[in-house]
Amino acid sequence: MKVVTFGEIMLRLCPEGYLRFFQNDKMEATFGGAEANVAVSLANFGIDSLYVTKLPDNPIGRGALSSLRSFGVDTSQIVFGGDRLGIYFLEKGAAQRGSLCVYDRAGSAIQKATREDFNWDAIFEGACWFHFTGITPALSPELVEILQLALAKAKERNITVSCDLNYRSKLWSRDEAREAMTKLCGKVDVLIANEEDVKDVFGIKPGDSDITGGRLSTKGYEYQAQKLREAFGFKYVAFTLRSSVSASDNYWKGVIYDGSEFFYSKEYLIHIVDRVGGGDSFGAGLIYSLLNGKDMDQTINFAVAASCLKQSIEGDFNRVSVKEVEKLSGGDASGRVVR
């Protein structure tokens, strides 16, 4: 069961603990990116996980390569070239102070990649699943074309395609996003999103839910999921549902819609260590479960448990095994010592 992911991996620079930017002279230098996070998570679940990107042939690019390899991600189809690796600066919030993300990704190797860089036949050899997010086509018009090529190849090979909507307003306008994602979503089987992304990209509003403020209204999500399915014929639509009490405490759950029914996961109150990558780890959990033929209940609960654990872990990557996720999704949230 080989899963292919494609996107941008960045250098992540983060002050220690809860320090503000440049409060001291140290930064944690790790790597991450929406699709890379999914790739690492799947590798940790024991899946044959191939990640495709373009990296600059310098110590920064090789650092990203080494980080991916350390998890056993298959990096054999990564292309080298271009000038720089994208960077994002992250300041972790606490209490009523939210986290800050400063992106410095313009001109990255993957952003300047061309269709000649990727050999989709070689990439898809033996694969059964392809995953990307709405960030990748936002990086350049060429990447919209590349994804269209990739999706066409994927469909030829009967590869299941999943997409996490992931709207980034710094990268493109809503209109650009809608145009590109409408083109791509026709070939997507599984859509992952949250309420805000659906509203931003496709203009489908959930109605009365208020994200910044309090708890979420169920009806709004269900309406959005149904509309999306009608428009694009997705097999499954899955949503992460986050309610922020503060930067330190969040409620977290998920829902999956199979066209006939909505399956809700258990809800967790998470004392957050690092919330970045929460959605990506949900996506990876979903892909793992669907690949392994889990039913809808198991699927949404595994995905939510995986992403709940992610938020207790520093860095973008979800460093958990299937066994650990199943312990939580099986009901043990007590956090007792395992000796």
Q: Which residues are catalytic?
A: 280
CA 248 to each of CA 24, 65, 80, 138, 268: distance values in angstroms, whole numbers, following the listed order = 22, 32, 39, 30, 13
Identity of the residue, 189 or 280, whose beta carbon is nearer to a copy of itself in the bound complex = 280
Strands 268-271 and 249-257, by their bridges, are antiparallel
Min dist. Cβ of residue 240 to a copy of itself (A): 13
Rg (CA), the chain: 19
Identity of the residue, 188 or 220, whose beta carbon is nearer to a copy of itself in the bound complex = 220
The answer to whether 78 and 53 are in contact (CB under 8 A) is: yes
Query: Residue 186: left (phi > 0), alpha (psi -120 to 50), or beta?
Result: alpha
Identity of the residue, 5 or 244, whose beta carbon is nearer to a copy of itself in the bound complex = 244
CA 272 to each of CA 286, 310, 339: distance values in angstroms, whole numbers, following the listed order = 21, 9, 24
Min dist. Cβ of residue 189 to a copy of itself (A): 28
Identity of the residue, 152 or 273, whose beta carbon is nearer to a copy of itself in the bound complex = 273
Min dist. Cβ of residue 229 to a copy of itself (A): 27
Min dist. Cβ of residue 313 to a copy of itself (A): 6
Q: Distance between CA 216 and CA 34 in Å, rounded? A: 24
Which segments of 71-217 does DSSP mark as H helices, in order?
120-124, 135-139, 141-156, 174-185, 195-202
Identity of the residue, 78 or 228, whose beta carbon is nearer to a copy of itself in the bound complex = 78
DSSP 117: G
Min dist. Cβ of residue 171 to a copy of itself (A): 10
